[in-house]
Chains A and B, each alone.
Chain A
């Protein structure tokens, strides 16, 4: 057990395969740390971690506390889905991981987001340095008003890479990764705004991948897309498994089940359950998780 798991006294360190299928809830299992927090479950993954979130709290400039004592591991090179009802703080949490909040006045963090294996606390780093390593894809495609090619390599340019050959190679590689190459290879120098919404979103993914991020954050990347474009992006995320550490917010539980290795369920700024995706959807440990995934909630 790490010191981290001790810090939230109620955590059970069980691998899901060892866990008997019959147990669905953990109401009674460990003695609750406090009376109000009767029902949370945090799997300690056996795989290598890329980051660990410890007691993260976050406040917006107006004083709203949107994240409360959040603990969660982020497994290296795996896809983790983040689910939960609207307004529970998924986007807020995601934007802590690339320090996007720092663009706005008066925000406050406490706790730690430790990047592994370097063992540095991301909250103490320069936000710009963090964003050089943690990429993000937004809900609404947001290509820059430039050509497709320039969009793809925008992040490389900002890192001072000038060699044409490198840029060309990376552009092709990341467009291929984003399953967009065949559609755009003959129009690389046209405006990115001439692409369809789904293509624009894949371009944004290519743009984020081109800089080889350590962690890729995706905030409901398919919610504005049709089923075909969605399927393509899901395929792409499946392929990225094993290459990049991915944390993705989604409202679509089938999607979470299809593409993620781990799933985290958030509710009211807190993490309720973190588990392997299969386990979370078929044998949720917490009553609240079960209520949510079975649609009994809200």
Chain B
């Protein structure tokens, strides 16, 4: 049968008879596993939302939505409790704003440096350091804020209380800096070389190439980085819990201490508040607010990305 070399070759490259069936089976199996994985994550998300919403409903049976949204005192554990979300929101927003005003501009500058200026050797040295910083437990940053940054700030700002929002805000900014840097840098480095060369060919300097061409081209990735940074800042707990004092306080003044949504949640869930009490239920309501906030950021980010989406 296989007499000529040609025949032998053809036989050698002919697939086994059950080849197609086998391949189809593997395909089907892969699809099932992948679907299961996707289904689990969707299911978990739905579960979380369900618990948040249903437990919040219990809370809102006892507390009116109007009080929740308009009152400016948050004293759920007092004998005469008051449930205004504003003190927690102001704390969350102030600390996040301080953190982001450090992490975003600095992260962008570092990313520009790393992707457009740094020689490969520097980049190879800095990248792992940044990744290492990302791995430091947040509680370490918390004590760093309390024990080092606050005393340092007190040397410059007389009268700064030991618990304030400035110090954890700054430290949180430093904490998420590696994150924004590395995500924005990835986005900028994904910009094709031809686009950069096109700018240089027109006589652009390195800096103008970076800010006029590379950043606009990478804007969707950079926006994503910032949105993730925002979500992380509002969701961050430990640093603020340790260094800002956990006292709900309706103020946007960074020199004062405050509680944030997340610090309140840990405080209650770790404390001796009776399960099922109204104070306990309140953590689901504020948790829902936090969830809606990050959802909002992500939707905005999604829309911005769509708006700037580039087909290169």
Within 8 A of B (CB), among A75-116: 98, 100, 103, 105
Residues of B in contact, count (CB < 8 Å): 25
| B194 interface residue (CB < 8 Å to A) | yes
Give the residues in chain A near B174, CB-CB below 8 Å: none
Residue of B nearest to A137 (CB): B201
Cα–Cα, bound, A144→B310 (Å) = 10
Q: What is the interface residue range for chain A against chain B?
A: 20 to 34
Q: Which residues of B contact A132 (CB under 8 A)?
A: 203
Query: Are A145 and B203 neighbours in the complex by a CB distance under 8 Å?
Result: no
Q: Return chain A residues, CB-CB under 8 Å to B196.
A: 103
- The answer to whether A59 has its CB under 8 Å from any CB of chain B is no
Interface centre among B119, B197, B201, B312 (most CB of A within 10 A): B201
Question: In whole angstroms, how far apart are the Cα atoms of A67 and B78 in the complex?
Answer: 83
Chain B residue contacts of A158, Cβ below 8 A: 202-204, 208, 212
Which interface residue of A98, A132, A144, A204 has the most chain B CB atoms within 10 A? A144
- Residues in chain B near residue A105, CB distance under 8 A: 119-120
For residue B198, CB closer than 8 A to chain A, the reply is yes
Instruction: Kindly state whether residue B213 has any CB partner on chain A within 8 Å.
Output: yes
Pair B202/A155 contact, Cβ less than 8 Å: yes
Q: Please give, as numbers and ranges, the residues of chain B lying within 8 Å of A155 by CB-CB distance.
A: 202-203
Q: Are A142 and B198 in contact (CB under 8 A)?
A: yes
- Given contacts A193-B310, A193-B312, whether A144 and B201 have CB atoms under 8 Å apart is no
Residue A154 interfacial (CB < 8 Å): yes
Residue of B nearest to A143 (CB): B198
A207 engages B202 (CB within 8 Å): yes
Q: B216 an interface residue at 8 Å Cβ cutoff? A: yes
- Pick the contact of A135: B194, B201, B213, B310 (CB < 8 A): B201
A145–B204 Cα distance when bound, in Å, is 15
Q: Which of B200, B217, B308 contacts A144 (CB 8 A)?
A: B217
State whether A145 and B194 are in contact (beta carbons under 8 Å apart), knowing that A159-B203, A207-B202, A211-B203 are contacts in the complex. no
Q: Is A131 an interface residue (CB 8 A)?
A: yes
Do A193 and B311 touch (CB < 8 A)? yes
Kindly state whether residue B205 has any CB partner on chain A within 8 Å.
yes
The distance in angstroms between the C-alpha atoms of A158 and B200, with both chains bound, is 11
Which listed residue, B199, B202, B208, touches A211 by the CB 8 Å rule? B202
Residues of B within 8 A of A (CB): 119-120, 192, 194-205, 208, 212-213, 216-217, 219, 308, 310-312
- Starting from the known contacts A142-B198, A145-B216, 4 additional A-B residue pairs (CB-CB under 8 Å) come to A136-B197, A138-B197, A144-B195, A155-B203
User: Chain A residues in contact with chain B, CB under 8 A?
Assistant: 98, 100, 103, 105, 128, 131-132, 135-136, 138, 140, 142-146, 154-155, 158-159, 193, 204, 207-208, 211
Q: List 22 A-B contacts (CB under 8 A).
A: A98-B201, A103-B200, A105-B119, A136-B197, A138-B198, A138-B201, A140-B194, A142-B194, A142-B195, A142-B197, A144-B198, A144-B212, A145-B213, A145-B217, A145-B219, A146-B216, A154-B212, A155-B203, A159-B203, A193-B311, A208-B202, A211-B202
